[in-house]
Structure 1
Amino acid sequence: MTGEQQARKRDAAATKAALLDAAEELFAERGFDRTTVRDIAKRAGANQALLFRYFGSKESLFGIVMARGGLAKLETTPPEQLFETTLRTLLEPPRDGSPRRSLETYLRSTGSSGAATTMREHVGEEYARVLATLTDQPDAELRADLVLAWMLGIGLVRSVTGKEPLASAGAEDIVRLIRPAVQTLLERNG
């Protein structure tokens, strides 16, 4: 590979990353429907044709943005630790000081059926599938969905409504109080 080809490849990676970062910011600020491909490309300092080249569509880009980190966590976290690890991630500020935008992005985009479907397909179904493996109950999928709904609800009340005492409770206290109920939902008989 020549130096020019390597530079082009590095630029492609940088452009992809810039598009993902810009999309994440704009989806969080405006939601899915009010964010345009043109705005994403402009913020990233890229041509909007590159967005389509790298990601295929705005919907696909949204799914990738929403799955960012979530699918990696899913792949690296043992199933029996998934609930607690995910809940802690929702509740604790990021270690690098950057804003956490996934819940904010999701909430601002729920009015879009395409965005909600993309989110469910990219992240929700995989999390539910893994959580469902933790129980041998016949309604395992429902139980997994209830756990996911509970996590989303906790995040919503804590970060959006700011209701006390949940808004200022420590992540470990919340996990400690909820753990027994989740263990009951995901119990095994055998």
Structure 2
Amino acid sequence: MSRPRNAAATKAALLEAAAKLFGERGFDRTTVRDIASLAGVNQALLFRYFGSKDALFATVLATQSRELLEDSPAEHLLRNVLLRMMDEKPRPEDHPLHAVLRSSHHDSAAEVVRRQLGEEYARALSSLTDAEDAALRADLVLAWVVGIGVLRSVFGKQPLAEADPAKVAALVAQAASVLLERTDSG
């Protein structure tokens, strides 16, 4: 399947294909060839537009993170992240945490997580408290979210794996309001 020459459409197709495959397979098991094939383009275009698989992964995570951050006022961010992460019919490309969890053992992926996800989410969450240790409080909440994702999605730990996402999000937001006073806990 070939596409008309349109740089923006080609980049978008590569990003969409990469998000899907990284979410399903993780970084290591996703090949440049598979991404290009799913996008319907030659793999040389991936290198032309993104430079490397690592750079494409970083772009995918940054794009998804930014979209979620832009779509969620800070006080709703925790709840919205949890609800998306726990969607009963998850599409791996819908949330960067799926790709992160499947790729966290890869050094460049871990660096992307620290830089793109950690800093941006921590900055948004730390804005929800006036405490001196706001950054630490935000990191604690982020660690909890990642832990919930691992237990639910990776290990299938019961009863969390089958718990109602709205109930989990409400309980976590309520508990997190001790650390982040302006978190929407309802």
Task: Give TM class, smaller chain.
Answer: 0.7 to 0.9
- Select the structure of larger CA radius of gyration: 1
Question: What is the CA distance between 1:137 and its match in structure 2?
Answer: 1.2
Q: How far apart, in 2, do the equivalents of 1:76 and 1:169 lie?
A: 25
Q: Which amino acid aligns with 1:54?
A: Y
Q: Which amino acid aligns with 1:42?
A: S
Q: How far apart, in 1, do the equivalents of 2:61 and 2:109 lie?
A: 10
Q: Which amino acid aligns with 2:167?
A: D
Question: What is the CA distance between 1:129 and its match in structure 2?
Answer: 0.6
How many percent of aligned residue pairs carry the same amino acid?
A: 55
Question: What is the CA distance between 1:63 and its match in structure 2?
Answer: 1.4
User: Aligned pairs, how many?
Assistant: 177
Q: How far apart, in 1, do the equivalents of 2:33 and 2:92 lie?
A: 24
Question: What is the CA distance between 1:173 and its match in structure 2?
Answer: 0.9
Q: How far apart, in 2, do the equivalents of 1:30 and 1:46 lie?
A: 20
Aligned to 1:57: 52
Q: How far apart, in 2, do the equivalents of 1:180 and 1:24 lie?
A: 31
Matched, 1:100 2:95: no
Which residue among 17, 34, 38 is the counterpart of 2:33?
38
Question: What is the CA distance between 1:44 and its match in structure 2?
Answer: 2.3
Question: CA offsets per residue over residues 8-45 of structure 1, 9 Å max, x none?
Answer: 33xx3332232123222332344223433233223322
Q: How far apart, in 2, do the equivalents of 1:119 and 1:44 lie?
A: 24
Residues 60 and 118, structure 1, Cα contact 8 Å, conserved in 2: no
Matched, 1:115 2:112: no
SS of 1:15's partner is helix
Q: How far apart, in 2, do the equivalents of 1:44 and 1:28 lie?
A: 15
Residues 59 and 115, structure 1, Cα contact 8 Å, conserved in 2: yes
Matched, 1:172 2:166: yes
Q: How far apart, in 2, do the equivalents of 1:146 and 1:103 lie?
A: 16
Question: What is the CA distance between 1:56 and its match in structure 2?
Answer: 2.5
Q: How far apart, in 1, do the equivalents of 2:158 and 2:99 lie?
A: 23
Question: CA offsets per residue over residues 36-57 of structure 1, 9 Å max, x none?
Answer: 3233223322122211222222
TM-score normalised by L of structure 2: 0.84
Question: What is the CA distance between 1:75 and its match in structure 2?
Answer: 1.7
Structure 1: state its 5+ residue gaps: 1-6
Structure 2: state its 5+ residue gaps: none
